[in-house]
Amino acid sequence: MKTDIEWMQEAIALAHNAGKAGEVPVGALVVCNGQVMGRGRNSQIGNHDPSAHAEVMALRDAALHMGNYRLENCTLYVTLEPCTMCAGAILNARLARVVYGASEPRTGAAGSALDIFSNKALNPHAQITRGVLAEQCAQLMQQFFKPKRLNLSPLREDALRPQEDWFEGLPNYPWEPHYVSQLPSLNGLRLHYLDENHESAQPQQMTYLCLHGNPAWSYLYRKMIPVFTAHGHRVVAPDLIGFGKSDKFKKASQHNFMFHRDVLLEFVKHLDLKRVILVVQDWGGLLGLTLPMAMTERFAGLLVMNTTLATGQAPLSDGFLSWRRWCRDNPDFEVGKLFARGNKHLSAAECDAYNRPFTERGHRAALHAFPPMVPELQSSEGADISARALTFWRDEWQGQSLMAIGTQDPVLGVDVMRNLHQNIRNCPEPMMLNHAGHFVQEHGQIIAESAVHHFKLPHS
């Protein structure tokens, strides 16, 4: 006849199998008259079943094997102290005995957190034997959870994190991901960014800081990045929180103008970016154009495409108001179709790449938040800082500038950009891209080629 230790070793083997499957490593078996009647391991994740604890799985297996839901004269061996749910199942099965390994101080219902089996008001009780191979059973749990506890970027409870496999097989996006979560404003959120040529600093190297808008992400710059890097320049392209591979707030109300601006300011300082060419479009400009006045020494140039500064001093354009109404009335719009509509040259795979960050519906909070977040009144959040930025660009900007306009843009088109052009000191005549719409970066190669020839570091 096998001993309790030998039976527990079999339960430990089942626990190992659970861990290999990505489940919390708990194993259990039901023994009657020296024979195994049922085996089980944790299977909640794989079975999509919150009740699929090892004990319950073993009881089910034994009941089927014995043809009876009463498992009288049987012993349950389990590597971890049963919880209240499993304790209830044990009582209903009329087990004679329960032998467990490691105690569970938070949820254990056999004497740790509470003791179901000592409650005389309940059904006849199983005899409890505690601590058999406790150290081995506890070590299983510790080894399983250790990598999770060492996670330097744990996910906040109010946020979601896109899965890595959502971004597999993206066309023309070969760059390695980088992440930062230690910025004060992020407060533990994880922000994704690209950082190319950061290890090959040269005397004439500039840093192209590429900021996307809504509903895009760093994928939007895939046609411009190779041009910048081919000329030896560094490229940094973050995904704003709520977009791309960065963490997503669960609620639209968590987004606000100053939060995103503060993140970008801290991001630039964290990477210690210098000789920066600020590359902006859409919300990349609404936010990004407010940055250089706070750190003028870091910025050398501006490449600005279809964007604006919303100061609340003038009405928002009819095109933008129409876009905002459309977003409100179509909250579940497909991002890829939006890109396809204005960029007929894109492949189906490229359009699909814009859907990837929003594979699950819960990840769309930023799409709902950003259109109404544009400052509309002088009292709106972000309006005052935008007005100060407009004054900076008009009166104080000392760097070089280049503007490119997608003339087919119904939201931030020629009229809006001409008005912005008048407020950027020493900005030359804009490049006019007559086949480009709002997402002008989809025609970005020619813009990038113009930029690398236009922007030159001043001679010291």
Question: What secondary structure does DSSP assign to 10-44, as a single string?
Answer: HHHHHHHHHHHTTS---EEEEEETTEEEEEEE--H
CB 327 within 8 A of CB 369: no
Pairing state between β 27-32 and 75-80: antiparallel
Longest CA–CA span in the chain (Å) reads 92
Q: How many CA atoms lie within 13 A of 193 on its CB side?
A: 25
Considering only CA atoms, give the Rg of the chain.
Answer: 30
Please, which residues bridge with residue 191 across strands?
A: 180
Active site residues: 282, 409, 438
User: Are residues 186 and 180 in contact, defined by beta-carbon separation less than 8 angstroms?
Assistant: yes
Distance of CA 131 to the CA centre of its chain: 41
Write the DSSP symbol of residue 175.
P
CB 196 within 8 Å of CB 160 = no
Please state, in angstroms and rounded to a whole number, the distance separating the CA atoms of residues 100 and 129.
7
Element (H, E) at 405: strand 400-406
**What is the C-alpha separation between 289 and 266, in angstroms, rounded?**
15
